[in-house]
Amino acid sequence: IALQTPATWIRNFVRTHPEYKQDSVVSEGIAYDLMTAVNEIGLGQRPCPELLGSVTVEKIQPEAAYPTHLGGGRSEKARKDVLNMLAARAAACDGPGSAPTNSFHRARVHS
């Protein structure tokens, strides 16, 4: 199953919304429902296989819901460790300068 781009998903959401009148107007109700859906997907409250495939967004736990302020005193080694960890997640199919893909995508590209 091919994943939809966010633009395609949004377009389909609007076009199939009960308030949409095929007039290219996104009413306040449609916009509200769209933002609610996007928020629920991001919080892990609403599955969206069209966008995420088999990836599940974990629900935010109350103990992890508050910001963790990063101290300015992080060591150079700590920064390099984080960068190395992120670089290790990247694959050749990601291309230079792109964000790492998930393992599901890599498996499809290389199969």
Per-residue pLDDT of 74-96, as tens digits, reads 688 888 888 888 777 776 666 66
34-42: average pLDDT: 95
Domain that holds residue 88: 76-109
52 and 86 inside one domain: no
54 and 22 inside one domain: yes
pLDDT given at position 59: 80
pLDDT given at position 79: 83
Q: Taking the C-alpha atoms of 7, 11, 14 and 20 in order, what is their torsion angle to the nearest 10 degrees?
A: 150
pLDDT at 52 over 90: yes
86 and 58 inside one domain: no
- CATH number, domain containing residue 24: 1.10.8.960
Mean per-residue pLDDT of the chain? 82
Residues in the chain: 111
Between these two residues, 108 and 68, which has the higher pLDDT value? 68
Q: How far apart are CA 96 and CA 93, in angstroms?
A: 9
Q: How many domains does the chain have?
A: 2
pLDDT given at position 76: 82
